[in-house]
Amino acid sequence: MTVISKPSDTVYSDALNNAELVRESDNDPHALAHTILYLAERNDKLEAIATAAEAYIRFGQDPQLHTNLVKALQRFENYEVEANMMDDPKFGLS
């Protein structure tokens, strides 16, 4: 797989804003905007897990850090369940 450079914060924000506009216009025939918005939200949840896991491991497996990690995992799992249950993929992607 080819490595793709990380977009700048401005480019990323612009892409998400444009994806929102495309979804609102109901003109997303290839579901690119839908996919970008879904993956952005999923990525946010996964980054929270990675951050919590790193803190938990780095700082001696503190009980509060363990709780933070478990909560981040639960938020991700809840998001995935909710996303899989949605009838209309347009809803819930704000």
Dihedral over Cα of 76, 77, 79, 83: its sign: positive
CA distance 38 to 56: 27
pLDDT, tens digit (0-9, with 9 covering 90-100), for 52-93: 999 999 998 899 999 999 999 999 999 999 988 876 555 544
Half-sphere exposure of 59 (CA within 13 A, CB side): 13
Instruction: Specify whether the CB–CB gap between 45 and 76 falls below 8 A.
Output: yes
pTM of the model as a whole: 0.76
Q: Would you kindly state where each structural domain of the chain is located, as residue ranges?
A: 9-85
